[in-house]
């Protein structure tokens, strides 16, 4: 089914998509659409916070949703396990009562590594070269792998994160060696960019993309790929939440992934697309810029919101 145009958005119930609503640009706060949904999939970086501090209104917004007994899943393309992210959110003022579940791509990848049910995972071997941010090894806690220090000694590469301050060229020799040895790469964070305060930096997805361009065989876990959304649907099913809205700041990850999972979608402009909308001073300019961006990236959101607010 074709996704709706901006001026003919869905109402959140799949059986009622032919009923038009006002232009998505008219959505000034989540309160305007909250009653249409039972469940919410909400991105972390660029939606709730900028990596340093919570965005104004984001904490209240989650609290309002939970007060309405909505099922709220925080879904993050983080190569770390959920616990580390929960600690970060708590430090910013997001208490555990403000959401129902916290799910990371790193957590899902770890579980898949333990299960080894998929043929890709069974082919990985045991000797793992782990690339992560801040030296974090939580993704392999309890996993039957042997960590090695070099690509020459590895059976596979597990990409959970990178140091965004370093140029991607820093990793080129390692990638080329991995290609020469035919190593599979498991990417637990497909994000191409990450936001930190007012800055944007390369994320691990950019490195995985480079490996793929060199001819490497990669499996991605995280938005927009299906494994994380399967987990979300299972969590919603346990709570009888059938009308779901996915909220994120990335057209390529949150909006495409949410739409392909069968959810309605909402783009917030506080994250990685903030520079794209910086010069858009009114609804007409926002609409024009959004249409230009989605013509490049292939998916139009059902709703647009300046920032996550109630």
The Cα–Cα gap between 284 and 90 comes to: 38
- The tens-digit pLDDT sequence of the chain (310 residues) is 333 333 333 333 333 333 333 344 558 899 999 999 999 999 999 999 998 999 999 999 999 999 999 999 999 999 999 999 999 999 999 999 999 999 999 999 999 999 999 999 999 999 999 999 888 999 999 999 999 999 999 999 999 999 877 888 999 999 999 999 999 999 999 999 887 767 777 899 999 999 999 999 999 999 999 999 999 999 999 999 999 999 999 999 999 999 999 999 999 998 888 888 888 777 788 888 888 888 766 688 999 999 999 9
Q: Are 157 and 139 in contact (CB under 8 A)?
A: no
As a residue count, the chain comes to 310
According to CATH, where is 3.40.50.1000 located in the chain? 14-106+224-305, 118-220
Q: Which pTM does this prediction carry? A: 0.88
The Cα–Cα gap between 148 and 303 comes to: 46
Q: Residue 20: what pLDDT?
A: 33
Q: Residue 7: what pLDDT?
A: 31
The Cα–Cα gap between 215 and 244 comes to: 37
* 116 three-class SS: coil
DSSP per-residue letters across 124-170: S-SEEEEE-STT--GGGTT---EE-SSGGG-SEEEE----TTS-GGG
CATH topology of domain 14-106+224-305: Rossmann fold (3.40.50)
Q: Are 113 and 138 in contact (CB under 8 A)?
A: no
Strands 127-131 and 101-104: unpaired
Return all residues near 204 (Cβ < 8 A) that are at least 6 apart.
79, 131, 159, 160, 161, 162, 187, 188, 189, 190, 191
CB atoms within 10 A of CB 181: 13
43 phi, psi to nearest 5 deg: -70, 160
- Give the residue ranges of DSSP H helices in the chain: 58-67, 82-91, 105-115, 119-122, 172-180, 204-213, 226-238, 256-260, 274-277, 283-297
Helices (runs of H) and strands (runs of E) counted in the chain? 10, 13
Strands 193-196 and 199-202: antiparallel
Return all residues near 183 (Cβ < 8 A) that are at least 6 apart.
151, 154, 155, 156, 157, 216
CATH topology of domain 118-220: Rossmann fold (3.40.50)
Burial class (CB in 10 A: 0-12, 13-18, 19+), 303: buried
């Amino acid at each position: 089914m074709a996704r709706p145009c901006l001026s003919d958005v869905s109402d959140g119930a799949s059986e009622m998509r032919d009923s038009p609503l006002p232009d998505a640009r008219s959505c000034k706060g989540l309160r305007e659409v909250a009653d249409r949904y039972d469940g919410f999939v909400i991105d972390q970086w660029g939606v709730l916070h900028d990596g340093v501090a919570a965005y104004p209104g984001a904490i209240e917004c989650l609290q309002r949703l939970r007060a309405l007994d909505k099922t709220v899943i925080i879904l993050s393309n983080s190569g770390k396990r959920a616990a580390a992210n929960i600690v970060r959110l708590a430090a910013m003022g997001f208490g555990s009562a403000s959401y129902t579940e916290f799910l990371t791509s790193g957590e899902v990848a770890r579980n898949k590594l333990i299960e080894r049910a998929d043929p890709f995972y069974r082919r990985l071997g045991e000797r793992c070269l782990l690339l992560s941010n801040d030296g974090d090894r939580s993704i392999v806690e309890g996993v039957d792998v042997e960590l090695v220090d070099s690509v020459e000694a590895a059976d596979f590469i597990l990409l959970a994160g990178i140091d965004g301050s370093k140029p991607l060229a820093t990793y080129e020799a390692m990638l080329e060696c991995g290609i020469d040895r035919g190593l599979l790469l498991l990417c637990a964070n497909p994000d191409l960019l990450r936001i930190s305060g007012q800055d944007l930096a390369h994320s691990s997805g950019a490195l995985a993309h480079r490996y793929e361009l060199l001819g490497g065989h990669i499996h991605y876990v995280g938005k927009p790929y299906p494994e994380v959304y399967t987990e979300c649907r299972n969590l919603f099913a346990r709570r009888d939440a059938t009308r779901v809205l996915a909220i994120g700041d990335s057209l390529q990850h949150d909006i495409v992934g949410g739409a392909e999972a069968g959810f309605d979608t909402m783009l917030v402009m506080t994250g990685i697309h903030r520079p794209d909308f910086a010069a858009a001073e009114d609804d007409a300019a926002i609409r024009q810029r959004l249409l230009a961006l989605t013509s490049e990236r292939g998916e139009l959101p059902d709703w647009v919101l300046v920032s996550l607010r109630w």
